[in-house]
Amino acid sequence: MQDQAQQLPEGTLLVRVPATDRGWARTLPRVPAGRTLTVTVGLAELAPVPADDLVASGYRIVGVAADHRPLGRLVDVCVPPDLREAHPAWWASLAARADRIFDPRLGPVARVLAAELALHRGAASSG
């Protein structure tokens, strides 16, 4: 599992942010520099987000938790290190909204979040 996590850029973090409703994309800080970040959603009912909200904010949904194994009212944003370093104010704003921040380089994180990390990796490799 750890080898899979290493396919993400070294230092990539998974940022878990509470999401109360389908308007969650508007509550996150707009991704800078015209970049788009991948997001997984903890409940199916949070996924039908207006495309304009996602595009305007710079986020793209790449997966939704299964109904039989929901994660809850949250979204997980995959954030590469170069974006955090280049835009520290943006990073501070996103991190301040987070309930948790996971580092996939840690073995237990890589194992527990393997399926979710695979969704982010797959989206990154497909463009």
pLDDT higher at 100 or 7: 100
Domain range for 23: 2-125
Determine which of 34-38, 40-44, 67-71, 99-103 has the lowest per-residue pLDDT on average. 67-71
* CA distances to 50, 60, 71 from 65, in Å: 19, 15, 6
Count of structural domains, the chain: 1
pTM: 0.87
* CA distances to 20, 33, 54, 88, 123 from 83, in Å: 26, 9, 18, 8, 17
| pLDDT value at residue 85 | 97
| pLDDT value at residue 27 | 93
pLDDT digits (tens, 9 = 90+) for 83-127: 999 999 999 999 999 999 999 988 888 888 888 888 888 886 665
| pLDDT value at residue 8 | 83
- Positive or negative torsion for Cα 50, 51, 56, 58: positive
Contact 24, 56 (CB under 8 A): no
pLDDT digits (tens, 9 = 90+) for 52-90: 989 899 999 999 988 877 889 999 999 999 999 999 999
Mean pLDDT of 14-36: 95
Mean pLDDT of 32-44: 94
